[in-house]
């Protein structure tokens, strides 16, 4: 039973209690119950509960229903802290089915022995321990530090891993200006795509005139192949709530909104549970922890419009209007939701905040590159062996992500390109495999960081088809408010379709470039301004494929 925390001392007392409970010497079975559900994780979990109850392991074994554990290519995934000498060495099992659960219990749970056929395989070698698998060993998890380790529906487990310590520190040890300075010094930049310095954005809102200010978490993740924000909300929702609490304290806000896609039912459900738990503990609401600070959250479900990822369109949608962007200035920092100063960051940005406050700005800025600090999460998808969720320091190369972590290209095919930044991004070819991934470097080669979608393509992929696919997506998602985007994307799609169907003509390349230029420079919002990127990057690096299709 969760008890309301009236003071800082109450929080510290509860934290110590949960830490002690969490560290009990029990065998733990961590089962991914989010993305892995699609391949039978619920049946696996039910079978574990049935078998363990039957064999009277109730006081010796704990099942932890977690969020994404990362290696989606091996779903359903479970990890185990077994008894005896293997304790604290998590065993990784992939492609687990309900019928093999009794064997796992008999071998691993009872005897501490490995079930070899479920282990990860690398170069014909079976690797039983998670820490030795390259997919995991070459990552650095900050935002994903709790995903796959805690039950996202259990606030006690979050608190046991230093959860809500940062907001307690922010309320009782730091002034709002101190919080902003720490975030500024850390070098954290917005993870939604543009990479604007987070602390500076918060400072703008704090200094803006007005007694009422709002916080918005942009969880409207709509890029094809992207699932970073969804995984964080499903696996560690309290980290996002805590980040929003700290931001609210910094800018002087008492009301926040999480704008999340209705197509993410698990994320929505976990958020609802987390918000309810935080309210019961007096970590949301009035007079939080007896500090005099008030802040509460509300979930707003989006209907799946890609354009609502743009700040002003998102604001319009929350206000009950059609999700369409408006000209800027004024920027949301001075006139946003209901014309009040508003701070908007995405899921990954907010999830970084608690660890910065907890570990210090100096610790955080040691990670990454000179101008791009910290880590970045990527949804690794496409023609790569180890598809899944990846978190690496800024400056990690594309080669390291695709080959060292991703395991390379399946079969005997070669890497051709990677689409970075979703429909608004660009295709990065093989010649830039050693590209260190940060905001500026990626932009130089014709792509953008975006929110973190990374789709790998092999030598069999037609780059003209890729350009047409993404143009079809953005044309369909254009709100139609401004002519350059509404007409420009439609005309580019028509030209690309003609070329891919074998009806191209010599003048098409000139038309495409001109349409791309006009759409990019004259569109109202980021959707139209970045829509030509896949076309321009494929023309830049794969012109020969366009010419071949036009000639033939």
* CATH code of the domain containing 262: 3.40.50.11540
Do 340 and 408 lie in one domain? The reply is no
140 assigned to some structural domain: no
Q: Which of 20-34, 202-216, 221-235, 292-306 has the lowest mean pLDDT?
A: 20-34
Do the bridges between strand 27-32 and strand 61-66 make them parallel or antiparallel, or are there none, so unpaired?
parallel
Please write the tens of the pLDDT for every residue from 2-51. Answer: 889 999 999 999 999 998 887 666 889 999 999 999 999 999 999 999 99
Mean pLDDT of 204-214: 96
Do 320 and 201 lie in one domain? The reply is yes
d(CA 290, CA 403): 51
Q: Are 62 and 29 in contact (CB under 8 A)?
A: yes
Residue 19, classified by CB atoms within 10 Å of its CB into exposed (0-12), middle (13-18) or buried (19+), is: middle
Q: Are 236 and 68 in contact (CB under 8 A)?
A: no
Do 124 and 170 lie in one domain? The reply is no
Do 418 and 334 lie in one domain? The reply is no
Domain count, the chain: 4
Q: Edge to edge, what strands does the sheet with 214-219 contain?
A: 296-302, 255-261, 214-219, 342-346
d(CA 110, CA 116): 16
State yes or no: pLDDT of 85 exceeds 50: no
pTM higher than the cut 0.85: yes
CATH of the domain at 62: 3.40.30.10
15 assigned to some structural domain: no
427 assigned to some structural domain: yes
Do 419 and 487 lie in one domain? The reply is no
445 assigned to some structural domain: yes
144 assigned to some structural domain: no
pLDDT of residue 25: 66
CATH of the domain at 388: 3.10.20.600
Do 243 and 292 lie in one domain? The reply is yes
State yes or no: pLDDT of 84 exceeds 60: no
502 assigned to some structural domain: yes
Please write the tens of the pLDDT for every residue from 432-474. Answer: 999 899 999 988 898 888 778 899 999 999 999 999 999 999 9
End-to-end CA distance of the chain: 71
Do 525 and 449 lie in one domain? The reply is no
Kindly state the greatest CA–CA separation across the chain: 76
Q: Which of 117, 132, 147 is the last residue of a domain?
A: 132
Domain with 98 in it: 26-132
Do 443 and 519 lie in one domain? The reply is no
Do 169 and 288 lie in one domain? The reply is yes
d(CA 353, CA 334): 22
Do 87 and 206 lie in one domain? The reply is no
Q: Are 367 and 351 in contact (CB under 8 A)?
A: no
State yes or no: pLDDT of 80 exceeds 50: yes
State yes or no: pLDDT of 128 exceeds 90: yes
Do 359 and 301 lie in one domain? The reply is yes
The confidence band for 538, taking pLDDT boundaries of 50, 70 and 90, is: very high
16 assigned to some structural domain: no
Q: Which of 458, 484, 517 is the last residue of a domain?
A: 458
206 assigned to some structural domain: yes
Q: Which of 439, 458, 477 is the last residue of a domain?
A: 458
Do 204 and 57 lie in one domain? The reply is no
CATH of the domain at 514: 1.20.1440.230
Instruction: Specify the DSSP class assigned to residue 331.
Output: P
d(CA 245, CA 217): 11
């Amino acid at each position: 039973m969760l008890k309301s925390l009236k003071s800082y001392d109450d929080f510290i007392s509860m934290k110590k209690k949960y830490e002690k409970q969490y560290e009990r010497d029990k065998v733990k079975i961590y089962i991914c119950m989010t993305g892995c559900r699609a391949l039978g994780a619920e049946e696996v979990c039910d079978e574990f509960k049935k078998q363990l109850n039957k064999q009277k392991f109730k006081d010796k074994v704990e099942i932890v229903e977690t969020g994404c554990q990362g290696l989606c290519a091996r779903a359903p995934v479970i990890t185990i802290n077994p008894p005896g000498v293997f304790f604290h060495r998590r065993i990784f099992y992939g492609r687990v089915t309900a019928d093999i659960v009794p064997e796992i219990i008999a071998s691993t749970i009872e005897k501490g022995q490995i079930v070899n056929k479920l282990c990860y395989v690398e170069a014909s070698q079976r690797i039983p321990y998670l820490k030795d698998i390259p997919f995991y060993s070459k990552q650095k998890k900050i935002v994903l530090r709790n995903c796959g380790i805690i039950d996202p529906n259990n606030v006690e487990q979050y608190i046991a891993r230093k959860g809500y310590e940062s907001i307690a520190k922010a309320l009782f040890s730091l002034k709002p200006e101190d919080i902003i300075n720490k975030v500024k010094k850390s070098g954290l930049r917005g993870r939604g795509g543009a990479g604007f310095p987070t602390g500076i954005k918060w400072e703008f809102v704090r200094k803006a005139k007005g007694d009422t200010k709002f916080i918005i978490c942009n969880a409207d993740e709509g890029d094809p192949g992207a699932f970073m924000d969804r995984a964080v909300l499903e696996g560690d929702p309290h980290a996002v709530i805590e980040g929003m609490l700290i931001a609210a304290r910094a800018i002087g806000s008492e009301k926040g909104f999480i704008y999340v896609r209705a197509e993410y039912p698990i994320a929505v459900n976990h958020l609802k549970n987390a918000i309810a738990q935080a309210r019961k503990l007096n970590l949301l609401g009035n007079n939080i922890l007896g500090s005099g600070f008030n802040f509460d959250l509300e979930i707003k479900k989006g209907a799946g419009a890609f354009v609502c990822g743009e700040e002003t369109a998102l604001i319009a949608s929350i206000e009950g209007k059609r999700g369409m962007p408006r000209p800027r200035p004024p920027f949301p920092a001075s006139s946003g939701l209901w014309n009040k100063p508003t701070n908007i960051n995405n899921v990954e940005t907010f999830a970084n905040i608690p660890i910065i406050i907890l570990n210090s700005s100096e610790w955080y800025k040691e990670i990454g590159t000179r101008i791009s600090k910290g880590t970045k999460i990527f949804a690794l998808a496409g023609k790569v062996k180890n598809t899944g969720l990846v978190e690496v320091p800024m400056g990690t190369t594309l080669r390291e992500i695709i080959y060292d972590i991703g395991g390379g290209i399946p079969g005997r095919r070669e890497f051709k390109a990677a689409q970075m930044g979703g429909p608004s991004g660009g295709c990065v070819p093989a010649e830039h495999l050693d590209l260190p991934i940060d905001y500026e470097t990626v932009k130089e080669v014709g792509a953008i960081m975006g929110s973190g979608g990374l789709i790998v393509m092999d030598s069999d992929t037609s780059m003209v088809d890729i350009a047409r696919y993404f143009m079809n997506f953005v044309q369909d998602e254009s709100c139609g408010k401004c002519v350059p985007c509404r007409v420009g994307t439609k005309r580019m799609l028509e030209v690309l379709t003609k070329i891919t169907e074998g009806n191209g003509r010599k003048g098409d390349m000139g038309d495409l470039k001109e349409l791309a230029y006009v759409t990019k420079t004259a569109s109202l919002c980021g959707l139209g301004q970045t829509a030509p990127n896949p076309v321009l990057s494929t023309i830049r690096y794969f012109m020969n494929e366009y010419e071949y299709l036009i000639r033939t």
